[in-house]
Structure 1
Amino acid sequence: MQPAPAPTSPRRRPRVDSSPASTSKRPKHTATPMATTQPGTRPMKMANQGHEQAFEPYKGIKRLTIKNLKPASSGKAKAGVEEYYTRALGDIDKTLQAVFVGEKPPVPYERLYREVEDLCRRGDAEEVTKVLKTRMDTHISKMVLQRVNTEGSNSDLETAKSLVEEWKQWNTQMTLIRSLFSFVDRTYLLANRQKLSSINDMTIHHFRKMAFATETSPGRRLVNAMCQIIDDDRRSRQFDGSLLRDSMRMLYILGVYTKHFEPLFLQKSSPYFTEFGQRYGTAKLEAYIKACEDLLRKEHYRCLLYNIDSVTEKQLMDAAHTILIDDFTDKLLDRAELDKLLDAKDIESMKGLYGMLRLSNIQTKLRDPWEAYIGDTGAKIIGDKERGDEMVVRLLDLRRSLEVMIRDAFGADDIFLRGMREAFGKVMNSNTVAAMWSTKTSKVGEMLAKHIDMLLKGGLKAIPASLLSDQQDRATAQKEGQSSTADEDAELDRQLDQALELFRFIEGKDTFEAFYKKDLARRLLMGRSASQDAERSMLTKLRSECGANFTHNLEQMFKDQELAKDEMDSFKSYCSHNEERQSPIDLSVMVLSSAAWPSYPDVQLSLPDEVATQTERFIKFYENKHSGRKLNWKHSLAHCTLAAKFPKGGKKELMVSAYQAVILLLFNPVAADGALTYEQMQKGSGLSGSDLDRTLQSLACGKVRVLRKHPQGRDVNPTDTFTFNKAFTDPRIRIKINQIQQKETKEENKATHERVAQDRRFETQAAIVRIMKSRKKMTHPELQAEVITMTRKRGSVEPAQIKKEIESLMEKEYLERDGNSYVYVS
């Protein structure tokens, strides 16, 4: 549409005249030619000097005079003006009607805008506003409402579609009307904004009044339809998402969202959540968690997609949490179901469960079943006698799975980390669990020492795959500035740290010390440590954990090794200066202090003459150097290298134990086809019983068979005979023949535990004496509490045992009873 030319108004323009300050007439000028001047000559005077010059000089500021308009004198002019304003009001009304029905307006929009402005300037803005309100109200109440009721008579959904379309059309029409009546909006309505609404607010008010006037208005049916669309979406039925989105936008603009939609939406959502909970309430916990997670995720996504208010979403989610979480707390915290998820290491389900409980701020209720599971599972592992050797590995695997669960499922929540540590501490020191092994000391301490022995002997090869670090552990180590756990030494160090985590829970650390000391001695003497650095690192960890008193004997063992090297250097120097000829035997002796090292049995071994002679030299050397000391030879720990020659295999170097060497040397004087009986070897070596059987088995029944047993078989009997294996071959020059290690017998294990228990008794008595010596007089409860505190680091002592030791000290007259108290006898 082309804009019409601006309308002509009957207004008169003021006449403006300009005149100089002087009232004299401007003179006429005549053109006179100008004379030119030559250089060096005087200017000539202009001719006609009696006439006025053409240039008029500046005479001052001109004055601007505005004369008043003269009132119209004729009645014909007044009538024309009134006719213009009347016609302008009519044009406004007709244009509004045309806009509402979608027809072409009778006058151009630009002319209509000018007429609105003229009417407002005349003072008829109220009349213009009245015409606009009347025409808007008539159109909304009659035409729009009638169309919506007619088109949406069949269902709420059709009503919603019709109302939204009318709203869109109404917005288009109002955009045009606001432009045409902007002068009214900016002047009259703005000046009276306390009483009158702007055109924009007026349009919203009229549509809202039509849509939400009564309970049966189209707006109420629209809200019902929106709730039905959301319900169809929840139940995976076909729905119109664009209609829901447009309706939501309309409710926000009309300002009825909170009053009409939100209460109904929340009211109709609660039954759906209740129905959902009843449907999945009988399912397994894993399926229920997954279903609830999907539901809550979809509800959140729907709120974002269709622009549902955040306050409404919060109320919606609170209702869902109350129904699906709070009302089903017993199911979510069911012990049997949780134990299955934890046994299966189902991180995803546990993560979903923790997230759901956290939504209702009741995640701490998960701690009790969490600790109960750890206690029950740990008790089963510790009390399983058939798999006692796997105890520590299984405990570490359990702890590892729980740590991963805390890290990946519980968001590293400290509550569950503390709960895990407390549960481990209780089960590992439980007297009920310990009673399953019928030992008086900690069985866990014993098995933990053996596990660390396995790590220090075998390195990473001895570590189960389930305990190795994963990618996230390596990333965490690098972030904390530690060595990457992909490095073998770093991974071994981490495994030792994991074992120390269990060690911290043990109250009976004296049991661990006894077995660790025993295994450490075997590793040092046999040279079986995978890494000396790892041995030193472990000793440092134990010293920082338990103090220098705990590791004093262990550190002495390392010192003895260093002193033994210096001792041998001195012995070799002594031999070189005091012997005429060099001995064919290269003797190496390690002198051990009996207080620091475990005790070993004395076996009278028949040594070859050369070896016996060399040992005598060392005894003489040592006794001269250290007076008052006596050496006891522990041949069970000795080893040597023998030079051997086989008819088919050639020359070999056999790395064997002292027992094996003595047996093999018995065959030197025997003919090639000769045999030795069991009894002959027993007399010739000095070995008997299990020591001789194990030695013969390693030489004749193992992988490297340098002897032959007759008859063949795996077991050695006193009736067997043995011959030199002339057919022995091996591609290697240096061959190590492993001694069959005697497994720790039940009697030896029991003796170790009894020795620990006896040491604990002496420590308890010593603690009682120290306390009473300083306090002089104490009641039984006070003394018992202080004894438990003082001896806790070495091992837990039962109150009954404390009472027994007090009675023992009373018999030895260290204490005496005074009423209800004990008194120290000085």
Structure 2
Amino acid sequence: MAITEKKTTIGLEQGLDFMQKGVTKLKKILEGLPEPQFSSEDYMMLYTTIYNMCTQKPPNDFSQQLYDNYKENFEEYIVSTVLPTLREKHDEFLLRELVKRWTNHKIMVRWLSRFFHYLDRYFIARRSLPALNKVGLTCFHDLVYKEINVKVRDAVISLIDREREGEHIDRALLKNVLDIFVEIGMGEMDCYEKDFELAMLNDTAGHYSRKASNWILEDSCPDYMQKAEDSLKREKERVSHYLHSSSEQKLLEKVQNELLLVYATQLLEKEHSGCHALLRDDKVEDLSMMYRLYSRIPQGLDPVSNIFKQHVTAEGTALVKQAEDAASNKKVEKRDMVGLQEQVFVRKVIDLHDKYLAYVTNSFMNHTLFHKALKEAFEVFCNKSVGGNSSAELLATFCDNILKKGGSEKLSDEAIEETLEKVVKLLAYISDKDLFAEFYRKKLARRLLFDKSANDGHERSILTKLKQQCGGQFTSKMEGMLTDLTLAKENQKNFEGYLTTNPHAHPGMDLSVTVLTTGFWPSYKSFDLNLPAELVKCVEVFKDFYHTKSQRRKLTWIYSLGTCNINGKFEPKTIELVVTTYQASLLLLFNSADRLSYSEIKTQLNLTDDDIVRLLHSLSCAKYKILIKEPNTKTISPTDYFEFNSKFTDKMRRIKIPLPPIDEKKKVIEDVDKDRRYAIDASIVRIMKSRKVLGYQQLVMECVEQLGRMFKPDFKIIKKRIEDLITRDYLERDKDNSNMFRYLA
């Protein structure tokens, strides 16, 4: 037999009365009154009562009434207890009371939500009503927060201002108050941002605006920047201690705007301590600070990099003027093409680049804007001429001075490598790289052919650096020259072997021949010099040897590059004379004649007047007077007569008789101009071949872009080359538009 127990129905009044006892107990606990804590039995009784009231059959299902009662409990407590205590307090006391009341409110929400939990699980879910937790927080928002948030915000901002002025404040209190602004938003940041952050940011702007207006008048640029950096650091700390992390960027932007942007021009251009002064006085740390501050601001570094560019340009231009003045004050003989002063200038430019590259690397953290500024500054003054010499020639001569034996720069191997690296970096700023290449190739040829190169390793090293900087085409001929020399040494060994095995073919003297490949080396004039019989035999012997190796190759003899060691039998003593092949040919004429006229010498040697004058001047008017000239003047004329100076003597047993140097600059520039014409022609044809039809402006711009890595082509020359290609039927003008060109296949 089953026994059933009838469940007692709980009436609304009865249930609410029981509930109210629990709520009153909770309020007493929150207010700190002597009241025992909830036991598990208390909790279970309250939970069960609400559960029963919600699960009774209608009309005794009191879910809605309980839901309303839940909210009423909060409203009653807030109105009767919370608001009166808050209304009577101000400033810091208000903040402390608010934190306490908010903490209590959250406890009350947590406990009541537990008692009424069954509502959350079923009733609220079915009806899509706000959850109990949200209802509790909304009550506080609507009744407390809306009334006092402005007073609270002002109190918080007042404390922040006091802290900015150096006072110690209760940061933990501020953190707790600002957490209320965040939490009251229930997952949204609207309350924090609109009711607090906006006013706080405006106050911050005002605070730093006032500070900046005083600092900019009183402080030097470094002092001002230090204060700005300290301020930014403190504001960042403020965020970490009590502001919400989402405020950091906005806060720092406000401070940066007031301290750095508003006064940027005044600060950076301060007369005795601005950016120019910091660069002038090498204030590396201050410049680093300037970079740190302005790198945080969009486009903030633009004015700093512009001042840096102006400063470097001015320093470089001053070096150019200094070198120009020195060159014009110094009475340099014409033959001294690039003097020591110009070498000093290049070294100073290298040092200047080292100095400011270190600034870019260290103070400006390798920022691309400063690399660009440095490049543009150096391009300005690195393309100016000094003492009539282009920067391309100066750099080539500087390299020559380092790489040749007995150069004025005495450097260790490591220092040479380092210097060459720096020269190649400077070359990047030179617009006429092709001119540098031609000057460099001429000087390299002289070093290699006259055994003036100090070290093969350095020669190859700089070519590797140039290849990396300018491409393989730039150095291909120079690399060929070095290879030629290696092959020439091997060829000479073979020749010596040939002479050993063919004694009848011996030339009668020591003979060394350097065979070169025409395409690699600079073009040299080859005259039909009438060689003396002694030298003719040498040429014939070598030709016979060479044809045993190669029948198809033609030998062209460049006598102007040859040297001879001949014995001068003078009455006091025999002296070995180191002379050029031309000088040797002239001197050997006096073996069969005591006295010769200018015209006789010219006829017998078959040389031009210019060459004859240079030869006779070197032997009769210069330091070593091997020939006696009549009349005894310091210039050579076609009416002069010459005879061997048998009484000549010198303390040395071996002397070198130099020829006056020829200014090869004109020839180099002519060769480069010719190569440029070919390069422009090739570029225009290449562009037109791919585009078929193109307007004049676009063709010119594409041509400049293609050739810009090696040289800056002149617009007038491009125009001339286009006209020339039209006459040669590579291009034609459009019949309807004279500025439009067509490619003729």
TM-score bracket for this pair, using the shorter chain length? 0.5 to 0.7
Structure 1 counterpart of 2:448, one-letter code: L
Match of residue 578 from structure 1: 503
Percent of residue pairs bearing the same amino acid type:
17
* Structure-2 change in CA distance of 1:102 and 1:133 (3 Å): farther
Deviation at 1:394, TM superposition (A): 3.6
> Which residue, out of 320, 326, 333, partners 2:261?
326
> Which residue, out of 130, 151, 160, partners 1:221?
151
Contact 1:576 1:582 in 2 (8 A): no
| CA distance in 1: counterparts of 2:445 and 2:256, whole angstroms | 61
Please tell me whether residue 230 in structure 1 is matched to residue 168 in structure 2.
no
Deviation at 1:331, TM superposition (A): 3.8
Structure 2 counterpart of 1:506, one-letter code: I
Structure 2 counterpart of 1:535, one-letter code: E
TM-score using structure 1 length: 0.56
Deviation at 1:508, TM superposition (A): 3.9
Contact 1:553 1:597 in 2 (8 A): no
Contact 1:428 1:505 in 2 (8 A): yes
> Which residue, out of 187, 200, 210, partners 1:275?
210
Structure 2 counterpart of 1:378, one-letter code: G
Match of residue 520 from structure 1: 444
* Structure-2 change in CA distance of 1:559 and 1:345 (3 Å): farther
| CA distance in 2: counterparts of 1:629 and 1:86, whole angstroms | 124
Match of residue 470 from structure 1: none
5 Å-filtered alignment, 1:275-674, equals 275-282=210-217, 283-310=219-246, 312-331=247-266, 334=269, 337-342=274-279, 344=282, 346=284, 349=287, 352-353=290-291, 356-357=294-295, 359-361=297-299, 363-364=301-302, 368-385=306-323, 386=326, 388-406=342-360, 414=368, 416-418=370-372, 420-429=374-383, 433-434=384-385, 437-439=387-389, 442=390, 444-457=391-404, 496=420, 498-509=422-433, 511-513=435-437, 515-525=439-449, 527=451, 529-536=453-460, 538-539=462-463, 545=470, 552=477, 555-556=480-481, 559=484, 562-563=487-488, 565-571=490-496, 573-574=498-499, 577-578=502-503, 587=510, 589-591=512-514, 596=521, 621-622=541-542, 632=559
Structure 2 counterpart of 1:532, one-letter code: D
Structure 1 counterpart of 2:234, one-letter code: K
> Which residue, out of 193, 199, 204, partners 2:137?
204
Map Cα deviations across residues 243-292 of structure 1 (whole Å, 9 max, x no partner): 11111222222234234212221221111121233234344444444443
Structure 2 counterpart of 1:519, one-letter code: K
Structure 2 counterpart of 1:589, one-letter code: S
Match of residue 165 from structure 1: 100
Deviation at 1:303, TM superposition (A): 1.8
Contact 1:226 1:244 in 2 (8 A): yes
> Which residue, out of 22, 29, 33, partners 1:99?
29
Deviation at 1:448, TM superposition (A): 1.0
| CA distance in 2: counterparts of 1:398 and 1:518, whole angstroms | 28
Structure 1 counterpart of 2:297, one-letter code: L
Structure 2 counterpart of 1:447, one-letter code: L
Contact 1:116 1:183 in 2 (8 A): no
* Structure-2 change in CA distance of 1:562 and 1:335 (3 Å): farther
* Structure-2 change in CA distance of 1:760 and 1:804 (3 Å): farther
Match of residue 3 from structure 1: none
| Cα RMSD for the two superposed structures | 5.9
| CA distance in 2: counterparts of 1:143 and 1:793, whole angstroms | 83
Deviation at 1:359, TM superposition (A): 2.5
| CA distance in 2: counterparts of 1:553 and 1:82, whole angstroms | 107
* Structure-2 change in CA distance of 1:171 and 1:549 (3 Å): closer
Map Cα deviations across residues 587-626 of structure 1 (whole Å, 9 max, x no partner): 56344779847989xxxxxxxxxxx999998567447658
Deviation at 1:317, TM superposition (A): 3.4
Q: Partner of 1:499: helix, strand, or coil? A: helix
What is the count of residue pairs matched by the alignment? 594
Q: Partner of 2:263: helix, strand, or coil? A: helix
Deviation at 1:187, TM superposition (A): 5.7
* Structure-2 change in CA distance of 1:233 and 1:753 (3 Å): farther
| CA distance in 2: counterparts of 1:506 and 1:390, whole angstroms | 18
| CA distance in 1: counterparts of 2:411 and 2:310, whole angstroms | 26
| CA distance in 2: counterparts of 1:191 and 1:281, whole angstroms | 66
Q: Partner of 1:281: helix, strand, or coil? A: helix
| CA distance in 1: counterparts of 2:80 and 2:474, whole angstroms | 100
Structure 2 counterpart of 1:524, one-letter code: L
Contact 2:507 2:541 in 1 (8 A): no
TM-score using structure 2 length: 0.61
* Structure-2 change in CA distance of 1:106 and 1:384 (3 Å): closer
* Structure-2 change in CA distance of 1:462 and 1:66 (3 Å): farther
Match of residue 753 from structure 1: 665
Deviation at 1:127, TM superposition (A): 6.3
Match of residue 245 from structure 1: 175
Deviation at 1:157, TM superposition (A): 1.7
Map Cα deviations across residues 149-190 of structure 1 (whole Å, 9 max, x no partner): 55x45xx12221232233334444554444445456556666
* Structure-2 change in CA distance of 1:770 and 1:400 (3 Å): closer
| CA distance in 2: counterparts of 1:83 and 1:581, whole angstroms | 140
More deviation in 256-265 or 564-573?
564-573
